[in-house]
Amino acid sequence: MTTSHYIAGRWVEGQGSDCISVNDPALGQPFAELMAASAAQVDQAVAAARSALPAWKATSASERAGYLRGFAEQLGQRREALISMQMRNNGKPRHEAEIDLDDAIATFNYYAELAAQLPSKNREVPLAAPGFTARTRLEPVGVVGLIVPWNFPLVTSAWKLAPALAAGCTVVLKPSEVTPLVEQAYGQIADALDLPAGVLNIVNGKAETGAALSNHTGLDKLSFTGSNSVGSQVMRSASAQCRPVTLELGGKSAIVVFEDCDVDQAVQWIVAGITWNAGQMCSATSRLLVQNGIADALLPRLQAALENLRVGNPLIEEVDMGPLTSQAQWLKVASYFATAREEGLQCLAGGKALDRDGWFVSPTLYADVPKDSRLWTEEIFGPVLCARRFATEEQAIAEANDSRFGLVATVCSADLARAERVADALEVGHVWINSVQAVFVETSWGGTKGSGIGRELGPWGLSAYQSVKHVTRCLG
């Protein structure tokens, strides 16, 4: 695994000082190692992207669309290997790893279609003033740095790579050091498609590599998905250059269950919202607001559902939930279990790390959690659900919105008019009504408040990598 960096169309050995250990979280043991990229190699990657930019942005939209379709086809051809890697390095159950791959394929196909439909670079703009004409051009932003997280590798990269390439940008991708292997497929696919050298570059490393990329003066834009603490550092780096940034950060999202909701359906939606990917989602609906009239019926069924989930190693058994992806995350979640005990919270299910090999914790439910509890206000990034009761629709909206985050929310109600009304009142970027968290490439992704800046997916994802230029001409 020494040649783990893809720079200027070539695989090269890492020249950094860090050795990255890649772990199987179900065993708590490493299974691969690779050397990080050096700062000089980050420079080389940015220089390669800069050199490739003029020719790449001059390609036709239909040609770029062809490459994107090729990425989708090649991902499909590597299906079993990529699914297995997601299971082994992330600890994802098979059905989740399959959905991840399908999501990545759909993303490349979608942006291939958008690229093929891009208007000509010149569009006339009618002016009220006589004696002038004006036209507008959509141009690529330029060279972009893409920094992606460990919880949805392959997927988050596709969300950034596909629209950036469709727009005519060249890119430097930095995967997470926790899950660096699955993204190697993008470099392999670039080779298979004869993608022009320098259009896609991949550098692996830890925080030092990310800092070298985000601070690089050769970038025209940064796109980052990850924690708020790192996101603020990325934003400071971008501000020093006065360049645009897209940030998809944390969440502490609410799921609101009204008393007219079917109890069994509500339990399914709640469980999916907190245990998918072992709760390691910025969109995890970790705050449950349940109306008084249904709470006594719902909470015991929810407790039983969480206790009956099959938790284990996805490579050797059929499971509903795998391990946490890293030891650091396992220790973090365990610290919140300790905090819950210190705060005297009522634990209905779980609340402990599991006594077995690997980084497993139990799906957890706390009831009647005070609003000032750390577990109610802070993002845990694990399968830890906190519940509170409410009386009225107005109270539910106020408590759901009482957060420094604003990424997503879910509303569960048989009264669709009320559900739509509540959805409109929630201060978030995406709301589901009576559903699991189904994410479609045609819709936008991103949040309000502390959950980030900008949007990914849909046409908004493409426009994030486009620059608008107007040309005005005097006819006199």
- The residues annotated as belonging to the active site are 248, 282
CA distance 93 to 182: 16
Strand partners, 96: none
For 79, the enclosing helix (H) or strand (E) is: helix 79-85
Non-local (6+) Cβ contacts of 249 within 8 A are 225, 226, 227, 228, 231, 282, 447, 450, 451, 452
Structure tokens at 61: 């939209």
DSSP E strands: which ranges in 391-445? 405-406, 408-412, 430-433
Residue at 105: amino acid letter? I
What SS3 class is residue 387? strand
Closest CA to 354 of 309, 315, 418, 392: 309
C-alpha distances out from residue 141 to 145, 233, 467, Å? 11, 22, 5
Half-sphere exposure of residue 113: CA atoms within 13 angstroms, side-chain side: 9
Non-local (6+) Cβ contacts of 169 within 8 A are 53, 56, 57, 140, 141, 142, 143, 144, 220, 221, 465
Report the 10 Å Cβ neighbour count for 9: 18
What SS3 class is residue 204? coil
What secondary structure letter does DSSP report for 277? G
CA distance 222 to 216: 10
Cα 197 to the center of its chain, rounded Å: 27
Counting every residue, how long is the chain?
476
DSSP 112-180: HHHHHTPPPS-EE---SSTTEEEEEEEEE--EEEEE--SSSTTHHHHHHHHHHHHHT-EEEEE--SSS-
Closest CA to 347 of 396, 299, 380, 278: 299
Report yes or no: 215 and 208 within 8 Å, Cβ to Cβ.
Answer: no
Strand partners, 431: 409
CA distance 153 to 100: 9
CA distance 322 to 93: 6
Structure tokens at 120: 């000509």
